[in-house]
Amino acid sequence: MRLVGLVAVAACAGGTKAGPVAPKEAAVDSQTAQKGAKDLVDEIYEDIGHANTDSLQALLDTKVMVLGPRRTDAVATRADAILALGKYVDAKKKLQPRLKSAALGVFPSEGGHSAWGYDHLDANGEQWAAMVVMSGSNDLWSVDAVALGETPPLAKVKAELKKDAVVPPAAGVTVKADPSAAAAVEKFTKGLADQHAWATELEGNELAVVIGPSAGEVTHGKKDMKALWKKRFKANVRAVLAGEVSGAATRDGMLAWVSAPIMRAEEGEEPLPLRAFAVFARAGGAWTMIALQESVALDAPGAGVPFKKFVPPAVAPPPPPPDDKKVDKTADKKAKKKKKPGADEDEVAPKKVVKKKKAAPEDDPPPEEKPKKKKKPVEDAGADDKPKKRRGFGGADADDGDVPKKRTKKKAADDDAVTVDDDAPKKKAAESDDDDAPKKKKKKKPADDDDVKISD
């Protein structure tokens, strides 16, 4: 029984015991790591220039992924990479391409055991863009993945696009992404449709870089990076997958690369087949994009037709990111408006509506203006040439100064009052002998001799 118990304990102990774990390597100084990674790239350039493919065995990882620059250039192992390179690099056939570096940049990760870099190459007159991911251990560095793409002038890309001759480099890759890069793959695919996800991470890193498919499309620095994505948002750039997504993490787990053929669309442009290659860095427990390369391959006319079925659907452009510098002046103006005296503080004065006059259509004739009434000329009181005449007594015309004032009939105070016959013309009563009778008013002499005289 005691022996059985010991066996059981040993079995339990063996079941819970973990396998051998490689000791974690000490961090390497960033400058040392940068130099080691850069020396690796320079050595590869030199070996290719001398057509020394055997020396590349120690410089490439066994599972190295090479993507591009042509449609059929895609390998996923070191043996296949050297075999494919032999078609273009062979000392016996005097195939010794000269690679001239124009802008090599290498950037180590946290801890110094991995690095990424980009460069622009002149390969026997052809202009290429390259992006590489490397791992390092004990001063020995090797290439994990590399993306190559030709960078023709933009006018040539558009001309070939009309012939359907533009395709993604390494269009036939069927290697799936490694589980170690699953979170990075998720971020990559999300950013295809919503490029704000990519922009937010790339704009926040001073070392980030974006390389476009045509000559001169290289963006780095926060200011230029922000301008690039602002332009993309305005053009409503979006993309969809057009093939298999590949990717993997470096040996130290601090960098990851993700790549896939895509179809990119933007307003006013023909959809463009591309290969996107992105580099992610681990920050805490999350992946952050720090580099992006988009490249094209020029092939035979009609080779790009199969990719047209992956055209992204048309969607409304996403809203631009808020700008903190812009201030809402409308709210300030409303707040500064004076309230009417006696108005309640919570009561807002109604806005005065101003009716705008409708503008007359250009084809319609202008409305006719009503003739203005002429004002009668003001006669001069002292003018003698045209005296103003009125009807006087007996129907005669008289001057204004000779018109008698209108008299009103008063009731007689006594019985001796004069009565007026209705049928006879109205005349003034004769002057009475009685002292109480009213005095007879004298009439003014008419101005003209032809006027009717009134006898006493």
DSSP letters along 194-242, please? Answer: -THHHHHHHHT-TT-EEE-SSTT-EEESHHHHHHHHHHHHHTT-EEEE-
Distance CA 137, CA 48 (A): 24
Q: Count CB atoms within 10 A of the CB of residue 340.
A: 8
pLDDT at res. 93: 78
Sheet strands (E) in 383-448: 389-391, 397-399
Asked if 135 and 60 touch (Cβ cutoff 8 Å), the reply is no
Instruction: Examine the pLDDT at 258 and tell me if it is beyond 90.
Output: yes
pLDDT, the chain, mean: 76
Quick one: average pLDDT of 398-411? 47
Domains of the chain as residue ranges with CATH: 30-304 (3.10.450.50)
Tell me: cis bond preceding 213? Omega within 30 of 0 counts: no
pLDDT at res. 421: 45
Distance CA 94, CA 399 (A): 133
What CA–CA distances, in Å, run from 363 to 359, 360, 366? 12, 8, 9
pLDDT at res. 332: 53
Confidence of residue 41 (pLDDT cuts 50, 70, 90): very high
Token pair of 179, please? 């589980």
Quick one: average pLDDT of 174-179? 93
> Nearest to residue 306, comparing CAs of 125, 108, 140, 164?
164
pLDDT at res. 384: 46
Instruction: Examine the pLDDT at 21 and tell me if it is beyond 50.
Output: no
pLDDT at res. 318: 55
pLDDT at res. 312: 81
